[in-house]
Amino acid sequence: MNFRNGTREEPEINLIAFIDILLVVLIFLMLTTTYSRYTELQVSLPVANADPASQRPREVVVAVAQDGRYAVAGQPVTSPTVDALAAALTAAASGEGEVVIVISADAGATHQSVINVMDAARRSRLNQITFATQDGGGN
């Protein structure tokens, strides 16, 4: 005797339960993920590692303090305007052929202070600019 039914049922995948589980996992991940904002990042700049150059052109170092004061080639600039910086850069670079402006800005100095130095260098037609950094001590 054969008790089996002649028709065979095809297995069925229940997609509704699968979608429900995926939505629960997605909601769980959305609720437990922490999002950080760029304003909350603690950034410590600048640090770099580089080999010293073998031949160096004449450098004019522009120091930018955290409070917005400037010093060009060791001499403080009396007025923190772009015009005063441009005049000081022109005087410091006069009579020289190739001059590189080295911006040595405090890590806490504002971006606007550094941009002012770059604008003053452009006005003085000194277009070789570099930034001073600390030695990172790494490889």
Q: Please give the pLDDT value at position 5.
A: 65
Threshold 0.85, pTM exceeds: no
Phi, psi of 101 (to 5 degrees): -85, 120
Q: Please give the pLDDT value at position 40.
A: 47
Tell me the fold of 56-134.
Nucleotidyltransferase; domain 5 (3.30.420)
Which residues in the chain come in under a pLDDT of 50? 38-41
Cβ burial 49-68 (10 Å sphere, 16+ → b, else e): eeeeeeeeeeebebbbeeee
Q: Please give the pLDDT value at position 33.
A: 78
Q: Please give the pLDDT value at position 36.
A: 54
Q: Please give the pLDDT value at position 51.
A: 66
Domain coordinates in residue numbering, the chain:
56-134
